[in-house]
Amino acid sequence: MNLILHVWRQKGPKEPGKLEQYEAKNVSPDQSFLEMLDEVNDTLIKTGKDPIVFDHDCREGICGMCSQVINGVPHGGQERTTVCQLHMRKFKDGDAIYIEPWRALAFPIIKDLIVDRSAMERIIQAGGYTSCHTGGVADGNAILVPKPVADYAMDAAECIGCGACIAACPNGSAMLFTSAKVAQLASLPQGQAEAAERVCNMTDAMQANGFGNCSNHYECQAACPKGISVKFIAKLNREYQKALFK
């Protein structure tokens, strides 16, 4: 099939950007979205033009680097699917596809479809860890964790930190991302010792790095490629209120 691509092109953070039109010809429905872009880039390079710059790494739906807004929806809108796992069979011959970078105040554009997501790393650096010395590998039965608690923590730990929740939120909020990291550790025995300090530090870092506030649109949950639930935002709010009393 043949497609028309409208791709955001921007040479640098301080340069003006615009949508440019390209043709994707003879696209196989079995190709992934990134493979389709690879072929478009091959054509651009052969004709002496600059290729479309985009992030990618694992191409297995694990790392979340393939951050693109496709037709107005982060990762393309297919449930629990990253861009690299989005296949061209979702589109039809002659379709026009609009491809843009994440849009959020905290995500300045570096070039084309690549944005600077280091603000998310600064939230993790503020407290997304346990600071105790772990030594060697602990025995699996040394600290017993009830299965419901372990399942809850694993649900939160599925977050891959791609930023789709932030790009989907009309306020550019990082509440879903931050809450998943807070809830994961706050629910486990190893993370409870620093729970109060952690939630305050990470919430402060979220606000300091230009992320907006949550206003319960739930777009974050809908866009998340791992299906992270907004129930973790409620957990973050509870942890924050508990920390204020401590």
Q: Give me the pLDDT at residue 106, please.
A: 95
Banded pLDDT at 134 (limits 50, 70, 90): low
Q: Give me the pLDDT at residue 132, please.
A: 74
Task: List the domains of the chain with CATH numbers.
Answer: 3-111 (3.10.20.30), 117-132+140-245 (1.10.1060.10)
Q: From CA 186, how far away is CA 170, in angstroms rounded?
A: 28
Q: Give me the pLDDT at residue 15, please.
A: 93
Banded pLDDT at 140 (limits 50, 70, 90): low
Q: Give me the pLDDT at residue 142, please.
A: 79
As a whole number, the mean pLDDT across the chain is: 94
Compute how many other C-beta atoms are within 10 angstroms of the C-beta atom of residue 47.
Answer: 7
Query: Which of 184, 200, 64 is closest to 129 using CA atoms?
Result: 184
Angle between helix 175-186 and 147-157 (nearest 10): 150
Residue given tokens 């399942």 in the structure block:
151
Q: From CA 146, how far away is CA 182, in angstroms rounded?
A: 19
184 pLDDT above the threshold of 70: yes
Residue given tokens 């979702």 in the structure block:
90
Query: Which of 79, 78, 80, 95 is closest to 36 using CA atoms?
Result: 95
Least confident of 69-83, 107-121, 131-145, 202-216: 131-145
